[in-house]
Every structure is written in structure tokens, then in C-alpha cells.
Structure 1
Amino acid sequence: MSKIFKKDENSDESQHLLLSGRSFFVGSSTSFTNDSERKLNTIAEGIVIVDKPALRWSDIIGLDAAKEDLKESLKLVTESPYILTDRVTPWNRILLFGPNGSGKTMLAKALATESEDTTYISVSSSEITTTYFKEPEKLVQNLFHLTRQHRPSILFLDEVDYLNQNDPNDQSGSTKRVRKEFMKQMLNFHSDSDGILLLATTNIPWTLDGNIINWFVKKLYIPLPGERARIDMFEFYLGDTSHSLTDDDLKRLGKEMTYVSGEDISSSVRDVLKKSAEVVHGATHFRRVVASPMTYPRHVVDDLWAPCPSNFPGAVESNWSDFPADKLYWPPISLSDLMHIL
């Protein structure tokens, strides 16, 4: 598996990297007091040190072309650098751009998970530019230093457009210094990038400076899912959840929901379930129903309890917590539920 710097990592190696001059967070020629070191460790947990991604290629529906491009790019950079020449530039600087929720970050995480013996370092550009630190440009210097030190490596810069934005509240000019240092490191990247794949994402590529865009040797557009992918996503996120959708309903969702992202589909199922839970948890009366329990969807039983109005025939005043979990009836998700949310 890829080597990951975790938030909860307490190993001697990770602590040394965080608090030494070779880490992302400390300038190589700067010494700090204990208070400064504690601040650095806090910033580390919030900006760069990431939990190990648990995402496989198979978890991402669609985007087959982008998956293959990323696989081949990493293989060329880490396994076959000898076939490259001065006239052939590897795809070691890739910009993923497209609508919000289309799967850009998921692709980066899956690449890290599937890459054997590769260090994965993830940083949000918005965190660097908005987090207070006395010398933010030192963070950028050591980020690239750490990436080189642990090659073969993948450096993932999320929301790279933040490096291009002016902050009216930045009286110290730290954002400008960060952006300037990034440009410097990007230029230096040409001369020392063996074994490194740099990925960046943005939802708004038109805001990027031309120099930043041209620096990336490959730009991959990550679109919203197509009709077939949308159907597959609805099926995937519904999973074993009780629902009344037919194949024709799923096809209708796939055909009509042309404007939704994979994140939208996932959220819609979650939101419907949340509303269903609110109905059950807020009910003051329940009635006995004949239906299939969530634990055994293919079986029909006659001892489930569903929320109902107080004047409904057979209503019993009670609270949801009075029933065993497997005896509560959760209304199945319907086509109209999803259409209403989306």
C-alpha cells in the first residue's frame, strides 16, 4: 500500500519529520520554541497529514478514461523513467478540472490506495493560504522537499485555484508570498521531478493564472456522470436500503437527472434516509404493519411498527426507542422522494 502520513501517527519517524528542518512544516534553517513547535504540529494535522485513503478504482463509477490516464502517468513516472528523454515530457504534472462533486478528489485517493510503495502527501491550497503562520512560504518549501525526500511519491494539491486569489484581509502579504513560492517551486520542479507525480484540482479553471495552467503538462476534464453512470450510481448508493424503485424508475432518474454529480446522488439518498429517520424518531404513535424488515428484505412479517397519526385505527402511543431496532418499519425510498430532493 502507499505510505501515508496519518493524523494520528505517533511514530518516531513522523514526529521527526514534522518537527525537524526536513519536514513540510519547519524551515531548514529556522529554529522554533516549544510553543512554535506545538503550533506546527496543529497545523500539520489540519493541512497535510492525512488519513490513509480507503478507496479503490472499483469504488469509482465511470470515469474510465481518466482512471487509465492516471494509472499510465504514475507507471511512467515511477516505473519507467528510463524511456523518457529531454524531448519527451512525462505526464507528471496533471490538473484535474471539472464541476464540483464530479470525482476529482476520489480519483486522487484511489490512485494513492492502488499504488504500491508510493508515498501520498495531500494538502489543501485553501488551508495553506488561510491558515495563520509566521512564514507560510516555509511551508511550501518544505512540502516540495518532503515530496522529493520520499519518492516515489504523489503530491496532491486540492483547490489549487486558491493560490490565484487575492485576499483583501491579507495585510501582511502572506498569500502573495505563498503564491510566489509555489511558482518558484513549480519552476524548480522541472529539474528535479523524477519519481514524483503532482496532481491538482480545481472547479474554476478559468480563474487560474495562465502560467499556472501552462505549467501542467496534462489537463484532464472530469465531467458529470453520463446516463449509464447515473443509473449505476443510484443503484450503488441505494444498495440494500429499502426502496420501491423499479428498473424503469432508475432509468428515468438516469435519463432526466443530467445536471447532478455523483456527490449529489449520494447526498440525495442520504437526505431521504435522514428525513425518514426524523419521521420515525419524532413520532408519538405507532401501528402494527405487515411488511418486510430492513434486516430481512425478502421476508414478510406481521409484527413491525410504523409511525402514524394519533387518530389512526390501532394507533398506540409510544416512542421509537420502546421497540427493538429490528421491529421498526422504515418507509422505503420512493421515486418521488428522490425527485423531490434532486
Structure 2
Amino acid sequence: MKKILLIWMLPHLFLYRCMAQGKLGQGSQDFLLTVEFYPSFNTSSRLVIQKKGNLQVLSISYLYPENSKDTIAKVGLKVESSDSLLLDKESRRFYQNKVFVKPLEKIAVSPKSFKKFCDTLSSIDLSMQSSLVKKGSVDGISVGVRYVSGTTDHFFSLKNPTSRDTQEHRIIKAIFGLMESGFKTETTLRYIELLRGYFNFGLLVRKVSQTPLEYRFYSHLSANESEEFYKLMKSLPRNKLLIFDFSNFIGMGTMFYGAFRELIAVNKEVYWLVNESSVIHVEGIGAKPDKIFTNREKLLKFIKQRRTSHN
């Protein structure tokens, strides 16, 4: 009887093991997860998430095509065949024969952050994940994913995943959660902010500080976030110093100018930190030149001096 039971159980145990192979929360198996981001109008990148024994490593690199105009940036960089990219043959043509890899940051991930990442994806079998294809979608972002663990080597791609694509969007959110909790350099974090703008994460604004009150707008602002935006603008004080950090902000429609104009018409202590792209919008809103800065230190120094002179 025991032999019969064992014979019956063996194939079921094997099946369970295969089914659990791609679930990061299952056991402590080592794995290598490579994620490549290919955003329109921005630099492509490769993220590598690796678990090997008790060590969890996270790294990110820029990917430059062979025909990139940024020739200086490619000097001394690692060169790979474009065949190594997680792209279909047609898309690889853009890279010609070579890709230049520029490391941005590499870190050891804390056990707490890594556990949260694995737990978030524990119900998704990455070894069985199918590609998300959206025909007729040209711009936006393509994401190539390769999952390797034991004898499993599985590839899938995600084209413009949104919150409507429940499982695919959950994968993307978990990846961003790990990146944002781990990486520390300004260059990496600014790049991640721009990537966020491709994934329907809602209003791309975060509160930086309470004193002085500062909000950071990054990537872009579109009609999809209008409801959240107007709710935020209505909540802002009309009689308190306020800083808008637009230093990593690309753009927005003029439909949003009115809410900013209404605010600065009442609140005379609104200051702006801008870049070459966002200054056009800030000037279009009507902000006065003495309220616009391109350097944070100079902005904070100006505010401090102004407060001192008023006391």
C-alpha cells in the first residue's frame, strides 16, 4: 500500500516543484532576474536582480546603441553583441551590432526589502508568465524580462503595462519598489523617476519636506492624473512659503496652468526649481523671474536671506 501511495505521489510532487519553480516566495532557491527597459525618448537600461545563497544583489546600467550620438559616453564601456538584448529581432535593428553598457549603481539588498519584493510576487509564477503584446502601440515602453533559476530559463516581454493589466502591472510595481528602496545615488533615482512616468502609477508628485513645504513634480503631468492634481492644488496653503521642485520634470499640457496661476495670484511666496524643459512651463504659468531657480543651494540661500531681512 505504501509503495502504491509513493508511486502516486511522485509525479504530483514533481509537478508541484515545477509549478513553484518561478515563484520567488517559494523556498530559498537562487535565481537571476534580468529586466530591460526600452522607453521611447529616453535612455534604455538593464536591471539585474540576483539571489545567490544569502546574498541578494541589485544593479542597473544604461544601454547605449552603437549608433548613439553620445560617443563620449561610450568610451571605455563594456561592449556586447546586440543579440544579448531582451528584444525581438526587429527591435534589435535599432542597436545595429553592438550595445554599450554603462554601470550606474550596484548594491546589496537588505533582507527586509528583498523579502517584501519576493512576497509581493509570491503568487506569480515567473517561469510561466506570458508576454503582454499590444498591437498598434508604437511609443511608450517595452520591458524585456528573463528569469533564470535551476534548469528554468524563461523570457517574456511587457508592452506598455497599465493598472488594467493586473498581474503584469504588479510585477512592474514590485520591481520599482525594490529599486526605490535600494538605490541611493541621485543619477539613478532621477532616472527611475523618469521611468515611472511610463507605467500609469498615478500622480507623479511627492512631498519632499514640511519646512519649507516642498513638492517634487517629476516626469510629466497628463490628463490621466488631472483629478489627483486638482485635489492636491486645492489642498495647498495660500499663506505659506511653498517650493515646487520641477528639476526632473519634463512637461504638461497648458490645461494645468490655470491651477498654478490661481495659487501664485494669492500666495506670493511660491518658488520654483527648474530644468531646461520645465522652465518653459513655469514661465508660461507666469512665475516671476526672481522666484525661479536652477540651483537648490541658491534657492535655499535666497529664502534664508529673505526671511532674515524680514525679521
Identify the structure with the greater strand proportion.
2
- What is the TM-score of this pair, normalised by structure 2? 0.24
- What is the TM-score of this pair, normalised by structure 1? 0.22
Q: Which has the larger radius of gyration?
A: 1
Identify the structure with the greater helix proportion.
1
